Amino acid sequence: MQKKYILEMFPYPSGNIHMGHVRNYVIGDICARYHKLKGDEVIHPMGWDAFGLPAENAAIQFNTHPQDWTLSNIKNMKSQLKKLELDLDWDKELATCKDNYYQYQQELFIDLYEAGLAYKKDAVVNWDPEDQTVLANEQVIDGKGWRTGANVEQKVLSQWFFKITNYAEELLNDLDELELWPEKVKTMQRNWIGKSTGAEIKFKILSQDDQLNIFTTRPDTIYGATFIALSINHRLVSKFVNNKEIDDIKKSFAEIDNEKEKKGYLMNIKCKHPLLDKEIPVYIANFVLDNYGEGAIFGCPAHDERDYDFAKKYNIPIIKVIECEDKDLPFTEDGVVINSPLLNGLKKTEAIQKITNYFEKKKIGNRSINYKLRDWGVSRQRYWGCPIPVIYYEDGTFRVLEKSELPVLLPYDVSLNGKGNALLNQDSWRKILCPKTNKIAFRETDTFDTFVDSSWYYIRFLDNKLDKPFDKKQVNKYLPVDKYIGGIEHAILHLLYSRFFMKALRDIYNLNINEPFKQLFTQGMITHKTYKTVNDEWIMPREVYLNEGKLFREKTNEIVMEGPSEKMSKSKKNVIEPDEILENYGIDATRFFMISDSPPDRELEWTDEGIQGSKNLIRRIDKYFKKSRTDTKHDTNKMIEKFVFNIEKNILNFSLNKCVADIYTLFNYLEKEKIYLQNSDLSKKILVCLYPIIPSMVLNLYMDLFNSKNIEKWPEINKELLIETRINLPIQVQGKLITTINTEKGYIENEILNSIYKLDKVKNKIQNRKVIKVINVQDKIINIIVD
């Protein structure tokens, strides 16, 4: 028996499922049911990504407790999922907020710490002022918090980090082996990891016993270096500039739009050019990133756009070291090196090689690889998360707890006021007597980023009752997840963190698994038309009615304007509630529509006509099987074999919209020819194929027709039946279609040509021109070329 681990991204228990969940889980459910019919050992679990801020916010707003709020949401959403009749392994259910999940996460943290993959350091971090917590780099989008949209501030805090950078190279390289991942997601991850190769060059600081390390991808332009620029947070800035000045500079940077304007301050130190007898000025500049390389650059204005802008503004010399016209400056393309004693006449790649070798020989630099990827900051200053199992002593030292001291349970009795971390004020929980040292100690009050929770839940699903995080044998047997289905919004965050976790756990536990998700499928969003009144008020689609070609709002009769179809959102009032749809159209029609109108990886527009069409088809199928059997001369074996073949192929490719087309085609044919199969074996075959898609009605029909609810195995395909013996052969003249003829496969070219030449359409086309060539692609096409 083959194992198939089919997983949909588990939901955050916000209260209600939405149509996006429905689409996601229906796609997964179709796969899971198909594989079960094939006789595979299917794992198809579901759980809850249950820690996180909305619970705290809701608790304050509704005067409840995050735990109560979360658990009641889970209860409600579970009952909604049950209504969708998903074939899930509910005995594997887990919720990350329960101690039988998160205590094992604390164990994993201890493992990571001992393996050197978790560490604590002071760091400049992204602070979300609205959520009052730190965010990882991945969670800051365009300078704003990914959840709140608030402008992120920079703060220095002592934080826990996971050493994801240790795996940068592997995370990058292994993307190549993920053949069943969308190229788009892989590209995004590659960009995020951001590998660049180049050199690190040492610049001596004149009349100081200190030096600068500068990373560059263009060591070939070193002779054109005319300035150095540092980030305001660079080590040497605090060494040579006093705090007041630093603050002033920071303020001046804060006042301008740093993306549009370049600003710099000349420092009173100078560097020596590594190859020339020349002094280079050092600036503090707003455009130097402090978290890339060492936060320092050398500027070669002639061949870099930023450096050029900066040099123009501050009258810094511009020295050409690659041959080009003055008007082309800054010239960033490949060219012949000039003004560079060691490199003149070389092209870019040769020059890079030569100069880097020279640096290494002279010990003034070396080859270097840089990644944009930073270590993952996992501390969050929030109550509703997994406690980090660490204690601090009064002298400022800390100790990571031992596994025997776990679990560190989250206290229930806290007072939440929305200001800061509630755990900080819980001295009864926070303050302990350390059993090892008998000293007073304080628990870590930061909790884990919830992305830590979701980085290993697919492992815990394998056995949610185990008294350790997971069982090695089971992991080796059942991972990776064969099909992982979810939204593309997790392309970087969750999917990169999970890949890191899998690799880290592999190394710690000596597992055989390199990648957590063998195949990734990203389903598209569901969109719906939006409507607004002339006063810019969003209104619900169901309030709108059409009269004489114009749209009006019910009750008020205001004129309504139709907007574009957009992602369903409460603020735009274009949301469709799953519960309502299930009630009005039924489970099968709802499932059907989820796969009908678009390929699953593209947007699906919600339309009333669409869901109604699905319902009509359901009714039609039902009626079809209830018609009494007719004797017929038709041989439907071939037709149905083809149907089985197509459905199988299309389920395996996630081309579920084509399954819908296959179903229509089949029933169109059967009804047109009035072939009613009722309780025959052929009916059985059809129903088995329909079962993954519309299980509810298939079960009922199966019961009616065969007096059983045991759906048979997926039919073996008889390949001989798929072979067509007659074909419609297209006939072309000069590559253009003239006609088609119906003929036996395996015709003899000369024979068939004789009859083709007699066809009026062909004769008219050829007239008395000479046939110079005939291209016969056997059983495919015949193309006659005349002069």
Partner RNA sequence: GCGCCAGUGGCGGAAUGGUAGACGCGCUGGUCUUAGGAACCAGUGGGCAACCGUGGGGGUUCGAGUCCCUCCUGGCGCACCA
Site string for RNA, 216-235 (x = CB under 7 A): xxx------------x----
The reply to whether 781 sits near RNA by the rule CB under 7 A is: yes
The reply to whether 372 sits near RNA by the rule CB under 7 A is: yes
CA 75 vs CA 13, 16, 68, 81: distances in Å: 9, 10, 11, 10
Site string for RNA, 126-165 (x = CB under 7 A): ---------------xx-----------------------
Q: Which of 488, 708, 703, 647 is nearest to 30 (CA)?
A: 647
DSSP 151-186: BPEEEEEEEEEE-GGGGHHHHHHGGGG-TBS-HHHH
Task: Please report, as a single letter, which amino acid is at residue 153.
Answer: E
Three-class secondary structure of residue 355 per DSSP: helix
Residue 232 or 241 with smaller CB distance to RNA: 232
Write down the least CB distance from residue 478 to RNA, Å: 31
Task: Please report, as a single letter, which amino acid is at residue 409.
Answer: L
The reply to whether 487 sits near RNA by the rule CB under 7 A is: no
Sign of CA dihedral 561, 567, 573, 579: positive
Q: Are strands 736-744 and 726-733 parallel, antiparallel or unpaired?
A: antiparallel
Residue 403 or 620 with smaller CB distance to RNA: 620
The reply to whether 410 sits near RNA by the rule CB under 7 A is: no
Write down the least CB distance from residue 734 to RNA, Å: 6
In the region spanning residues 25 to 44, those forming contacts with RNA, defined by CB under 7 A, are: none
Write down the least CB distance from residue 410 to RNA, Å: 32
Three-class secondary structure of residue 89 per DSSP: coil
Run of H or E including 192: helix 183-193
Residue 99 or 543 with smaller CB distance to RNA: 543
The reply to whether 780 sits near RNA by the rule CB under 7 A is: yes
Please pick, from the candidates 130, 463, 605, 622, the single residue that binds RNA as defined by CB under 7 A: 605
Write down the least CB distance from residue 161 to RNA, Å: 18
The reply to whether 370 sits near RNA by the rule CB under 7 A is: yes
The reply to whether 304 sits near RNA by the rule CB under 7 A is: yes
Residue 685 or 765 with smaller CB distance to RNA: 765
Residue 166 or 213 with smaller CB distance to RNA: 213
The reply to whether 292 sits near RNA by the rule CB under 7 A is: yes
Residue 95 or 762 with smaller CB distance to RNA: 762
The reply to whether 523 sits near RNA by the rule CB under 7 A is: no
The reply to whether 612 sits near RNA by the rule CB under 7 A is: yes
Cβ atoms of residues 76 and 122 within 8 Å = no
Please pick, from the candidates 668, 708, 755, 778, the single residue that binds RNA as defined by CB under 7 A: 668
CA 415 vs CA 64, 66, 449, 748: distances in Å: 11, 11, 21, 88
Write down the least CB distance from residue 775 to RNA, Å: 4
Interface region with RNA, contact rule CB under 7 A, candidates 10-18, 116-124, 464-472, 730-738: 730-738
Interface region with RNA, contact rule CB under 7 A, candidates 16-24, 292-300, 417-425, 532-540: 292-300
Write down the least CB distance from residue 658 to RNA, Å: 6
The reply to whether 483 sits near RNA by the rule CB under 7 A is: no
Task: Please report, as a single letter, which amino acid is at residue 223.
Answer: Y
The reply to whether 598 sits near RNA by the rule CB under 7 A is: yes
Sign of CA dihedral 490, 493, 494, 497: positive
Alpha helices, DSSP H, located in 673-713: 681-690, 695-706
In the region spanning residues 49 to 68, those forming contacts with RNA, defined by CB under 7 A, are: none
Residue 193 or 410 with smaller CB distance to RNA: 193
Write down the least CB distance from residue 667 to RNA, Å: 8
Interface region with RNA, contact rule CB under 7 A, candidates 26-34, 269-277, 527-535, 666-674: 666-674
Three-class secondary structure of residue 542 per DSSP: helix
Write down the least CB distance from residue 355 to RNA, Å: 13
Site string for RNA, 247-266 (x = CB under 7 A): -----------xx-xx----
Residue 244 or 770 with smaller CB distance to RNA: 770
Task: Give the 3-state DSSP-derived string for 284-350, with helices as H, strands as E and coil as C.
Answer: EECCCCCCCCCCEEEECHHHCHHHHHHHHHCCCCCCCCECCCHHHCCCCCCCCECCCCCCCCCCHHH
The reply to whether 274 sits near RNA by the rule CB under 7 A is: no
Please tell me the distance from the alpha carbon of residue 478 to that of residue 511, in angstroms, as a whole number.
12
The reply to whether 451 sits near RNA by the rule CB under 7 A is: no
In the region spanning residues 672 to 701, those forming contacts with RNA, defined by CB under 7 A, are: 672
Please pick, from the candidates 655, 676, 686, 693, the single residue that binds RNA as defined by CB under 7 A: 655
Interface region with RNA, contact rule CB under 7 A, candidates 171-179, 184-192, 341-349, 377-385: 184-192
The reply to whether 734 sits near RNA by the rule CB under 7 A is: yes
Residue 327 or 773 with smaller CB distance to RNA: 773
- Residue appearing with tokens 């603020």: 571
Please state the length of the chain: 787
Residue 431 or 602 with smaller CB distance to RNA: 602
Q: List Cβ<8 Å contacts ≥24 apart for 702-705.
A: 704/625, 704/626, 705/625, 705/678, 705/679
Please tell me the distance from the alpha carbon of residue 576 to that of residue 505, in angstroms, as a whole number.
41
Residue 55 or 284 with smaller CB distance to RNA: 284
Residues 6+ apart with CB under 8 A from 227: 280, 281, 282, 283, 298, 299, 301, 307, 310, 311, 314, 316
Residue 740 or 754 with smaller CB distance to RNA: 740
- Phi then psi for residue 665, to 5 deg, are -60, -45
Please pick, from the candidates 183, 209, 394, 395, the single residue that binds RNA as defined by CB under 7 A: 183
Residue 221 or 421 with smaller CB distance to RNA: 221
Q: Please calculate the CA angle 51-104-48 and round it to the nearest 5 degrees.
A: 35
- What distance, in Å, lies between the first and last C-alpha atoms of the chain? 61
The reply to whether 632 sits near RNA by the rule CB under 7 A is: no
Q: Are strands 544-547 and 550-553 parallel, antiparallel or unpaired?
A: antiparallel
Please tell me the distance from the alpha carbon of residue 744 to that of residue 728, in angstroms, as a whole number.
9
Please tell me the distance from the alpha carbon of residue 383 to that of residue 447, in angstroms, as a whole number.
7
Cβ atoms of residues 539 and 564 within 8 Å = no
Q: Which of 589, 588, 632 is nearest to 608 (CA)?
A: 589
Write down the least CB distance from residue 722 to RNA, Å: 14
Please pick, from the candidates 47, 293, 330, 516, the single residue that binds RNA as defined by CB under 7 A: 293
The reply to whether 737 sits near RNA by the rule CB under 7 A is: yes
The reply to whether 649 sits near RNA by the rule CB under 7 A is: no
Write down the least CB distance from residue 79 to RNA, Å: 23
Write down the least CB distance from residue 571 to RNA, Å: 17
Residue 466 or 737 with smaller CB distance to RNA: 737
Please tell me the distance from the alpha carbon of residue 381 to that of residue 356, in angstroms, as a whole number.
45
Please pick, from the candidates 125, 232, 288, 485, the single residue that binds RNA as defined by CB under 7 A: 288
Task: Please report, as a single letter, which amino acid is at residue 507.
Answer: D
Please pick, from the candidates 609, 716, 720, 760, the single residue that binds RNA as defined by CB under 7 A: 609
Number of other CB atoms surrounding residue 105 within 10 Å: 23
Q: Which residues sit opposite 298 in a β-bridge?
A: 228
Binding residues for RNA, total number by CB under 7 A: 79
Please tell me the distance from the alpha carbon of residue 271 to that of residue 181, in angstroms, as a whole number.
48
Please pick, from the candidates 438, 628, 773, 787, the single residue that binds RNA as defined by CB under 7 A: 773
Please tell me the distance from the alpha carbon of residue 55 to that of residue 14, in angstroms, as a whole number.
8
Interface region with RNA, contact rule CB under 7 A, candidates 116-124, 238-246, 297-305, 353-361: 297-305
The reply to whether 709 sits near RNA by the rule CB under 7 A is: no
Please pick, from the candidates 610, 678, 679, 786, the single residue that binds RNA as defined by CB under 7 A: 610
